[in-house]
Amino acid sequence: MTELYKKHLITTQDWEKEGLDEILAVAKDMKKHRYEKPYTEILKDKTFLMFFYNPSVRTRQSFEGAATELGGHAQFLEPKSMRLKEKGKAGETVEDAAKVMSRYAVGLGIRILEDAIDEYGKGEELLREYAKYSSIPIVSMAHDKYHPCQGLADLMGLQEHIGEVKGKKITMMWGYSSLVRSWSSVQEDILLLPRYGMDFTLAYPEGFDLDPEVIAQAKKNAEATGTKFEITHNRIEAVKGAQVVYARQWMSPKRYNIGKEEDKKLALKYQDWRYTKELDSLTDNAYYIHPMPIDRGNEVDDEVASGSRSIVYDIAENRLHVQKAIMALTMTKGWK
């Protein structure tokens, strides 16, 4: 068994597959035996810190619920309630904050993306700095580059519905929205799902490229498992024969140079990029996935998002179970 105690989780790419498999196996068992011992006592008398620079529905509720169900407590923190150094203002360093927080809690989750940063990569930099100084595990609760808990919940949902995902085709399609979304959730799946052998087709309008380093790594991941990784600007061809479709907006690479309002204007040109009933009919009865919140009527037709092959709520629930497994395996020792 791989040693996960005190291991940071900033992206699943940092972990061996064996460790990810262990999280998924424990998460599935926790789902089955949700309120049973030993699971209800794993975090007894222990605190998990949740540091949110941005709002959240699922992540806050599922982490808080996860700590409660494991018998512990999750403490909610925001920058305004802390005394950290900010641009041009005196305050506490990350080093001091990380070392002090490590004395109070067994784990620290951090969310930082979208408007909380002024340059892509700054969120990742902050998480890595906390990881450098902290003696407790740092977990990304979504940052500008990755969203590992979402990736694991997506994979768990796909395994529950499809079984073995190897050889199945997933199409990730950009979908129009006036929301300007970070790359975190999509980039996590782009790396993770090819590692499990899924054929990956990425479809988006010209100008909405993702991080080239992540794409290069995804191609290597696909090569290592002998699967395909393809990029296209033709959404109709892209969805044909897909067994899973993930349709969601993401920002353009220009977002932090031109600003959010200008990025919205770039997206406006592609309002026809919606995952419609017609596109759905070209797939191989594809499951629909999305990390939520969904912009219904823009990213996807209501009928698809609420259709019988939409598994978005199962995946949202799985956030709770995978996070319980992450907390149990990285923040405590010896309960197994």
Query: Residue numbers of the site for ligand CP (CB under 6 A)?
Result: 56-59, 142, 150, 291-292
Question: Smallest distance, Å, CB 313 to ligand CP?
Answer: 12
Residue with smaller CB distance to ligand CP, 170 or 238: 170
Q: Tell me how far, at minimum, the Cβ of 57 lies from ligand CP, in Å.
A: 3
Q: What is the largest CA-CA distance in the chain?
A: 57
Q: How far is the CB of 129 from ligand CP (least distance, A)?
A: 22
Q: Nearest distance from residue 37's CB to ligand CP, in Å?
A: 29
Question: Least distance from C-beta 290 to ligand CP, angstroms?
Answer: 9
Measured from the CB atom, is 140 or 227 closer to ligand CP? 140
CB 241 to ligand CP: min, Å: 27
When the beta carbons of 71 and 79 are compared against ligand CP, the nearer one is 79
**Closer to ligand CP by Cβ: residue 42 or 141:** 141
Closer residue to ligand CP (CB): 169 or 248 = 248
* Cβ nearer to ligand CP, comparing 57 with 236: 57
Least separation in angstroms between CB 322 and ligand CP:
12
Which of residues 29 and 317 has its CB atom nearest to ligand CP in the complex?
Answer: 317
- Three state DSSP letters for the chain: CCCCCCCCECCHHHCCHHHHHHHHHHHHHHHHCCCCCCHHHCCCCCEEEEEECCCCCHHHHHHHHHHHHCCCEEEEECHHHCCECECCECCECHHHHHHHHHHHCCEEEEEECHHHCCCCCHHHHHHHHHHHHCCCCEEEEEECCCCHHHHHHHHHHHHHHHCCCCCCEEEEEECCCCCCCCCHHHHHHHHHHHHCCCEEEEECCCCCCCCHHHHHHHHHHHHHHCCCEEEECCHHHHHCCCCEEEEECCCCCCHHHHCHHHHHHHHHCCCCCCECHHHHCCCCCCEEECCCCCCECCCECHHHHCCCCECHHHHHHHHHHHHHHHHHHHHCCCCC
